[in-house]
Amino acid sequence: MKKSINIRGGRVIDPASARDEVSDVYVADGLFTSSPVEGAVEVDARGLVVCPGLIDLHVHLREPGQGAKETIETGTKAAAAGGFTSVVAMPNTQPVADHPGIIAWMQERAAAVGVVNVFTTGAITVGSQGEQLAPIGAMAAAGIVAVTDDGRCVQNHELMRRAAEYCGMFGLPVMDHCQDASLAGADALMHEGYWSTMLGLPGWPRMAEEIIVARDALLAEATGTRFHCQHLSAAGSVRILREARARGIPLSGEVCPHHLALTDEALRDYDTNFKMNPPLREQTDIEALLGGIADGTIDILATDHAPHAPYEKEVEFSAAPFGILGLETAVGLFCELLLHHYRAIELPALIAMLTANPARLLGLDRGTLAIGRPGDVTLLDPAREWQVDKNAFASKSRNTPFHGRVLRGQAVRTVVGGDTVWAVDS
Amino acid sequence: MNWTRKDLHALSVLSAEEINLVLDTAAEFKGVGQRRLKKFPSLRGKTLVNLFVEASTRTRTSFELAAVRLSADVVNISASASSLSKGESLKDTAKTLEALAADLIVLRHSAAGSAQFLAERLRAGVINAGDGSHEHPTQGLLDVFTIRERLGRVAGVKVGIVGDIRFSRVARSNLEALTKLGAEVILIGPSTLVPREFARSGARITHRLDDVLGELDVINLLRIQHERQRAGYFPGTGEYASFFGLNAARARRLKPGALVMHPGPINRGVELDGSVADGPQSVILDQVTNGLAVRMAVLYLCGSVPPPEDS
* Nearest by CB: B112 against A314, A315, A317: A317
The answer to whether B113 contacts chain A (CB < 8 Å) is yes
Q: What is the dihedral of CA A304, A309, A314, A318, to 10 degrees?
A: -50
* Nearest by CB: B198 against A197, A199, A319: A197
So which residues of B are the catalytic ones?
58-59, 86, 108, 136
- What backbone phi and psi angles, to 5 degrees, belong to A95? -75, 165
> How would residue B310 be classed by pLDDT, with cut points 50, 70 and 90?
low
Q: Looking at residue A232, what is its pLDDT?
A: 98
Q: Would the CB atoms of A316 and B195 count as touching at under 8 Å?
A: no
For the cut 70, the answer to whether the pLDDT of residue B36 exceeds it is: no
Nearest Cα of chain A lies from the Cα of B195 at a distance, in angstroms, of 7
Q: Looking at residue A261, what is its pLDDT?
A: 98
Is A304 considered catalytic here?
yes
Q: Looking at residue A45, what is its pLDDT?
A: 98
**Rounded percentage of chain B residues whose pLDDT exceeds 70:** 97
**Reported ipTM:** 0.94
Q: What is the pLDDT of residues A7-44, one digit of tens each?
A: 999 999 999 999 999 999 999 999 999 999 999 999 99
Taking residue A92's Cβ as centre, other Cβ atoms within 10 Å add up to 23
Q: What is the pLDDT of residues A50-106, one digit of tens each?
A: 999 999 999 999 999 999 999 999 999 999 999 999 999 999 999 999 999 999 999
* Nearest by CB: B109 against A194, A269, A316: A316
Q: Would the CB atoms of B197 and A318 count as touching at under 8 Å?
A: no
Residues of chain A with pLDDT under 70: 426
Q: Which residues of A touch B135 (CB under 8 A)?
A: 200
For the cut 90, the answer to whether the pLDDT of residue B29 exceeds it is: yes
Output the DSSP codes for A184-227: S-TT--EESSHHHHHHT--EE-HHHHHHHHHHHHHHHHHH---E
Q: Looking at residue A396, what is its pLDDT?
A: 98
Enter the pTM of the model.
Answer: 0.95
Nearest Cα of chain B lies from the Cα of A158 at a distance, in angstroms, of 26
Q: Looking at residue B35, what is its pLDDT?
A: 63
What residues of chain B, 127 to 146, have a C-beta less than 8 Å from chain A? 131-135
CA angle A92, A378, A11 (to 5 degrees): 145
Q: Looking at residue B33, what is its pLDDT?
A: 63
Chain centroid to Cα B73, Å, comes to 23
With beta carbons less than 8 A apart as the criterion, state whether B39 and B292 touch.
Answer: no
